[in-house]
A and B are shown apart, each in its own frame.
Chain A
């Protein structure tokens, strides 16, 4: 196959025109090939403009001022919540908690639901594949409570091994915390199956959606999700804003996360009553511009269509895997394209991923190298580090060609 034969349901060329950064050069004379989307995505003009518009036209604090600007800011910020609730098909806007990102969402659940529901000897089940942000909070909680951590194993092919799931779920398993899509390999995990089994075993499930919500349609009700955490910056939105979706009954029962303004209904000197959802979990002045920007980002994604975005990325990934497999001495990690979305990770013997990334950068190709915050998974894969190219809706087949060409140049530099 060659790049001109790729059939994409999207007009990625037209989409690119909305992204100012994609028009720049990596350095003078070297076009930018941005393939580091799993780390963070670029931002389209409507998102950038919405943020600018907020600060230049109606900047005010939300939920408190009785004046025109505050009213407008509150409507826009809370309107963003509605858009996000619709985007993931939450049954109520009360289930959409704004956070700083995936990491904060997971920590919120571990500190509130976790502290209230996990006791000595209870089990927290997660996987060997997780990003550190869906592992370390559970380690902290397990240490504090004397709870047991269990792990669904990952195979060398980069998939979860569910053959022992029933045994792993046997006993006082209170929560199952699993990533939907691997940030290292792009593996799409069978979360519906895991959620159903976990529910049968009486456990609550938290899904790390950092790499799935940006790339595919997500329906929290259809999947039966209890908690879903994701980050705005990986889905065309600004940094510093993310979402924790939580099923309402669970959120209602949970103690608050941080104490302060906005999260209270009534405060007396010795105690307080909590505000209603979702504000109970949003202490202090929130990231107003960030929330508004994320609302515009999900509108942008919905207008294009998440099905199409997924299909486009899978086309690109399949093409990238095919081209990578032609490079002598190169090993690709993870399952085949149809089980993946948007990620191709690889290594070349004798060329450390950091050196690879540096040499690709010399050609304008931006990728990520390292353990991608998933050291335990790299132990399973038997590679301390990998080089990762990750795609999004604006990437072109020609950019895969540029990646491959740059890889050949890097190999030549190291006489490989």
Chain B
């Protein structure tokens, strides 16, 4: 259980990458995890080919949610919005390098939810896609 808090996760939690919201972003989305009060707000800029060139985010919450946001913010730079729309739960867990139980997985997946919702440009995800 202790290995949830592997060094890479604690590193991203303590030194989050790409923190700080962008001015005039092309894409912006925020959401909460009502269960624990984790909050994430993502802003992104994309080029003419819909490729992410810059990411900035803010948030509060547990180490898992914040580390996942930090890792995702690095991971999506250079990806197209289409590629982001195709990302899954597996991608997040692979980034984190851990497996999570039914409760904590919501903390990890908040970043994916926010980024995908931003990529779709909607108030949420199409259908009741399970992430």
Contact = CB atoms under 8 A, between A and B. Distances in A.
A361 B35 CA distance: 18
A414 B104 contact: no
Interface in B81-131: 104, 107
Given A369-B36, A370-B36, A371-B37, A358 B61 contact: no
B69 interface: no
A88 interface: no
A361 B37 CA distance: 20
Interface in B3-61: 4-5, 10, 14, 35-38, 60-61
Interface in B66-90: none
Contacts of A415: 10, 14
Nearest to A413: B5
Contacts of B2: 359, 362, 413
A136 to B, nearest CB: 13
A352 B62 contact: yes
A384 interface: yes
A362 B1 contact: yes
Nearest to B3: A362
Nearest to A385: B37
A355 B62 contact: yes
A45 interface: no
B62 to A, nearest CB: 4
A353 B5 CA distance: 14
B62 A354 contact: yes
A385 B104 CA distance: 15
Contacts of A359: 1-2, 5
B4 A358 contact: yes
Contacts of A375: 37
A361 B101 CA distance: 13
Contacts of A362: 1-2
* A contact patch SS: helix
A355 B35 contact: no
Contacts of A370: 35-37
B87 to A, nearest CB: 24
B81 to A, nearest CB: 31
Contacts of B104: 354, 358
B32 to A, nearest CB: 10
B56 to A, nearest CB: 22
A258 to B, nearest CB: 28
Contacts of B38: 354
Given A384-B60, A414-B10, A354 B36 contact: yes
Given A362-B1, A414-B5, A414-B10, A355 B36 contact: no
Contacts of A361: 1
A371 B61 CA distance: 12
A385 B1 contact: no
A378 B14 CA distance: 25
Contact of B1 (A354, A358, A378): A358
A354 B64 contact: yes
Contacts of B61: 352, 354
Contacts of B10: 413-415
Contact of B107 (A354, A378, A384, A413): A354
Q: Which of B5, B10, B37, B107 has the most CB of A within 10 A?
A: B37
B63 A355 contact: yes
Contact of A384 (B1, B37, B63, B64): B37
A41 B10 CA distance: 34
A361 B107 CA distance: 17
A413 B2 CA distance: 9
Contacts of A355: 5, 62-64
A385 B60 CA distance: 11
Interface in A335-354: 352-354
A184 B35 CA distance: 15
13 contacts: A354-B64, A354-B104, A354-B107, A355-B64, A358-B104, A369-B36, A370-B36, A370-B37, A384-B37, A385-B36, A385-B37, A414-B10, A414-B63
Given A352-B62, A358-B4, A414-B10, 5 more contacts: A353-B62, A354-B64, A354-B104, A358-B1, A414-B5
Interface of A: 352-355, 358-359, 361-362, 369-371, 375, 378, 384-385, 413-415
